Amino acid sequence: MQILESKKIGERAYIEELESGLKIVVIPKKNFNKKHAIVGIKFGSIDNCFINPKNNKKITIPDGVAHFLEHKMFEQKNGTNSLDTLTALGVNANAYTTDTHTAYLIECTDNFDEAYKELLDYVQNPYFTRENVNKEKGIICQEIRMYEDDPTSRVYQNVLQCLYKNHPVRIDTAGTIDSVNSINKKILYDCYNTFYNPSNIVISLCGDFNPEEIIERTKNMIVQKESYKDIKRIYPEEPEEINKSMIIEKMEISTPIFVIGIKDKPKYGKEYVRKNIAIEILCNILIGNSSKLYKELYDNGEILSEITFEYQSSTDFAYLLLAGQSKEPEKVLSKFIKQIKSLKKKGIQEEEFERIKKKVYGGYITEYNEVSDIAKMFMIDCLEKVNTFDILDEFLTVNLDYIKEILNEVFVEKNIAISIISTN
C-alpha cells in the first residue's frame, strides 16, 4: 500500500494496486457523516474501436455504447434492479458516462457496508437480455431528445465538432437515435468483457474510513478475472489543425450563447499537472473577472456574465473551452484573439501573475471540502495516472517563464474555433 500525503492541506490518500492492475484509493475524512464510493472504468464514448482481447480482432461499435452499458448495468439476473435496491437503503446511487470514462457511485450516511457490496456486485455482474436491452432504447432516446432542446448541450457538442475532424471526442456521449437503436446484447457483452477488466478500473472512497480495513474488504469482493494489462484502443488519425472555425445553430433562446474552443496536444504526468495550472492562470489573466478585457466587455454590455473556462486533457486529446453569453459572440472572439496577441507582445506583470496564482491555489484547496468531490477527483486522476496532490506541490514550479511558454504553445489563433447558438 502506498500512502500519499499533503501536509499543506492535512490530507492523506492510501492507494493499493492489486496484481490485476485494479486500484483502490481511500481518502479518510474524520467526522463526516457521508461516505462516498465511486467506481471508475476507463471506457468512454471515444472508445468506439478496439482490439477484442478474446480473439484479437478489431471491432468497431455504434456510437453511445459506453453510455448504454451504464444504463443497463443496474439490472440483475434475479429480476431486481440495483438502483432500486440501493435507493431502498436510503443510499444516493448514480452513474454517468463521459468521453473518457464511466462511473458508478454511492453516497450514504447509513447502510454503507450493504450498499458497497451491492455496488461492487452489480458493476462486476452484468445481465443483458434482448428484452431488457430493447426496453432501454425508448428511455435513452428521450434522454437524447432532452439534450437536443438544451442549448448548453448543443453549444458544447458543436464546439467539439469544430475542433475535431475524425476523433470520436466529437460525437455525443449518448450517441444518436439511430446508433442507439442498432445496439444489441452481443455488443454490450463484448464491450463489458473488454473494458470492465480489473486493469481498467479504479475504486475511490472518501469518508470516515479505516483505510486498511476498507481496502482489505474491497479486495475480498473483487471477482478474479484474467487481467488485460493493455487494452488496445484504436483512434483515427486526427489532423493537427481544427476542422471548422465556426458553427452557428439557431434555437429558441433570448441571447446567444457561445463556446470558444482551442485545440491542444496532451501532456502526461507532472507536465499534465503543470500545464493545467498554467492554463488556468492564463485564462484568468486574459479574460477572467479581474481582467481588462472582461471589464471592457461587461461595461459595453457585450457579455452577460463571467466567462467560464475548462481544460480537458486525456491520453489522446486536449482542448480548452471558454463559454459565455453575448449578443455578439464573434466580437467577443475577435477581442479575445486581440488580447492574446497583446499579452504575447507586452508580457505578463509579476503582480498580476502572483495574485492570480493565489486565486487558483485557493480554488484547489476548496476542492477538498466535500467527500463526493474528493472521491471523484482522485478516481479521475488515478485513471489518468496522475497524483492528485501533485497539483499543490507543482504550484511552486510554475513561474512566469513557464507561463509564457504555455501562452505561446496553446493560445494560437489557427487552433481557435467558436460555436454559437443564436436566436431565431
Partner 1 sequence: MNYKYINLKEGVKLHTIKTEKFKTNLIAIFITVPLTRENVTKDTLIDLILHRGSKNYKTQEEINKRLEELYGAVFDYGIEKSGDNHVFKFYIESINDKYLNDDNEVLKNSIKILSDIVFNPIIKKGEFDEKYFETEKEKLKQIIDSKIDNKDTYSYYRCIQEMHKGKVFGLYKYGYKIDLDYIQNTDLYERYEQIINTGKIDIFLSGNIGDEQIALVKNDKNISKLQNRVAVYNVQYGRSDLVNSETIKEVSESMKVAQGKVVIGLNISEKRENTSFVALIYNMILGGSANSKLFQNVRESQSLAYTISSRYLKPKNNIFIKCGIDIKNYEKVIQTIKEQLDDLKNGNFSEEDIYNAKNTIIASIKGISDEQDTTITYYFGQELSHQKSNLINYAVEIGKVTKKDIINLANRININTIYFLRD
The footprint of partner 1 (CB under 8 A) covers 8-10, 29, 31-34, 81, 83-84, 87-93, 107-111, 135-140, 142-143, 145-146, 148-151, 251-255, 288-290, 295, 298-299, 301, 304, 325, 355-356, 358-363, 365-366, 368-371, 424
Cα torsion 148, 152, 158, 164: sign: negative
| DSSP structure class, residue 81 | B
Q: Shortest approach of partner 1 to residue 9 CB, angstroms?
A: 6
Q: How far is CA 189 from CA 52, 60, 287, in A?
A: 11, 14, 47
* Closer residue to partner 1, CB minimum distance, 163 or 206: 206
Catalytic residue among 11, 16, 70, 238: 70
The Cα–Cα gap between 36 and 44 comes to 22
- Select from 12, 27, 119, 98 the least CA-distant residue to 373: 27
Is residue 241 annotated as a catalytic residue, yes or no?
no
User: What cell was used for 404?
Assistant: 509564457
The Cα–Cα gap between 261 and 276 comes to 16
* Closer residue to partner 1, CB minimum distance, 72 or 167: 72
* Closer residue to partner 1, CB minimum distance, 149 or 241: 149
Contact 65, 402 (CB under 8 A): no
Contact 83, 115 (CB under 8 A): no
One-letter identity of residue 415: N
Which residues are registered as beta bridge partners of 299?
none
- Select from 19, 136, 15 the least CA-distant residue to 83: 136
The Cα–Cα gap between 90 and 79 comes to 20
Contact 410, 320 (CB under 8 A): yes
Phi, psi at 51, each rounded to 5°:
-95, 120
Kindly give, in sequence order, each residue whose CB lies less than 8 Å from that of residue 47, ignoring residues fewer than 6 positions away: 66, 168, 195, 233
Residues annotated as part of the active site? 70
